[in-house]
Amino acid sequence: MKRIAIVGGGISGLSAAYALEQQRRAGTPVEYVLFESGSRLGGVMVTERAEGCLIEAGPDSFLTEKPWAIDLCRQIGLENELIGSNDSERKTYILVNGKLVVMPDGLMFMVPTKILPTVFSPLFSLRTKLRMAREWFHPPHRAEHDETVAVMVERHYGAEMVDRLADPLLSGVYGGTAADLSVRAVLPRFAEMESKYGSLGRAMLAARRKMGANLASRPLFTSLKQGMQQMVDALVARLPRPSLLTHSPVNALTRRADGWAVSAGDRSDHFDAILLAVPAGVAAALLRSSNSELAGELSGINYTSSVTVNLGYDGKVRSFLPPGFGFLVPRSEGKRLLAATFVHNKFPHRAPEDRALIRCFLGGAADEQILELSEEQIIGIVRSELRQIIGLGADPLFIRVYKWKKAMAQYGVGHLERLERIERLRQNLPGLVLAGNAYRGIGVPDCVRSGSDAALQLLSSFGLKAAPNADKVSQPA
Ligand SMILES: Cc1cc2nc3c(=O)[nH]c(=O)nc-3n(C[C@H](O)[C@H](O)[C@H](O)COP(=O)(O)OP(=O)(O)OC[C@H]3O[C@@H](n4cnc5c(N)ncnc54)[C@H](O)[C@@H]3O)c2cc1C
The mean predicted confidence, pLDDT, of the chain is 94
pLDDT tens-digit series, residues 436-459: 999 999 999 999 999 999 999 999
The average pLDDT across 466-472 equals: 64
Quote the Cα angle for 401-50-95, to 5°: 50
Q: Would you state the pLDDT for residue 107?
A: 86
Nearest ligand 1 atom, CA 444: 11
Q: Would you state the pLDDT for residue 217?
A: 74
Res. 112 pLDDT band, cuts 50 70 90: confident
Beta strands in 240-302 (DSSP E): 244-245, 250-256, 259-264, 267-271, 273-276
pLDDT tens-digit series, residues 201-248: 999 888 888 776 666 678 999 999 999 999 999 999 999 999 999 999
Ligand 1 center to 43 CA (angstroms) = 5
The average pLDDT across 250-260 equals: 95
Q: Would you state the pLDDT for residue 16?
A: 98
Res. 36 pLDDT band, cuts 50 70 90: very high
Give the residue whose CA is nearest to atom 22 of ligand 1: 437
Compute the distance between CA of residue 434 and CA of residue 476 in angstroms, rounded to an integer. Answer: 27
Compute the distance between CA of residue 48 and CA of residue 57 in angstroms, rounded to an integer. Answer: 7
Give the residue whose CA is nearest to atom 4 of ligand 1: 59
pLDDT tens-digit series, residues 285-321: 999 999 999 999 999 999 999 999 999 999 999 999 9
The average pLDDT across 409-431 equals: 97
Q: Would you state the pLDDT for residue 476?
A: 64
What percentage of residues in the chain have a pLDDT greater than 70?
97
Task: Give the residue, out of 308, 444, 448, 450, with the most ligand 1 atoms within 8 A of its beta carbon, to mutate for a pocket test.
Answer: 444
Element (H, E) at 356: strand 355-363
Nearest ligand 1 atom, CA 285: 41
pLDDT tens-digit series, residues 9-22: 999 999 999 999 99
pLDDT tens-digit series, residues 65-96: 999 999 999 999 999 999 999 988 889 999 99
DSSP 109: T
Q: Would you state the pLDDT for residue 213?
A: 60
Compute the distance between CA of residue 185 and CA of residue 182 in angstroms, rounded to an integer. Answer: 5
Compute the distance between CA of residue 454 and CA of residue 68 in angstroms, rounded to an integer. Answer: 14
Res. 469 pLDDT band, cuts 50 70 90: low
Res. 351 pLDDT band, cuts 50 70 90: very high
Compute the distance between CA of residue 25 and CA of residue 29 in angstroms, rounded to an integer. Answer: 9
Distances, alpha carbon 93 to alpha carbons 123, 333, 401, 459, in Å: 9, 14, 23, 47
Ligand 1 center to 11 CA (angstroms) = 7
Beta bridge partner(s), residue 401: 309
Nearest ligand 1 atom, CA 438: 26
Ligand 1 center to 279 CA (angstroms) = 8
Res. 474 pLDDT band, cuts 50 70 90: low
- Looking at the predicted structure, is the pLDDT value of residue 51 above 60? yes
What residues are in contact with ligand 1 under a 6 Å CB criterion? 7-13, 35-38, 43-45, 58-62, 249-250, 277-279, 282, 306, 308, 404, 407-408, 436-437, 442-444, 447
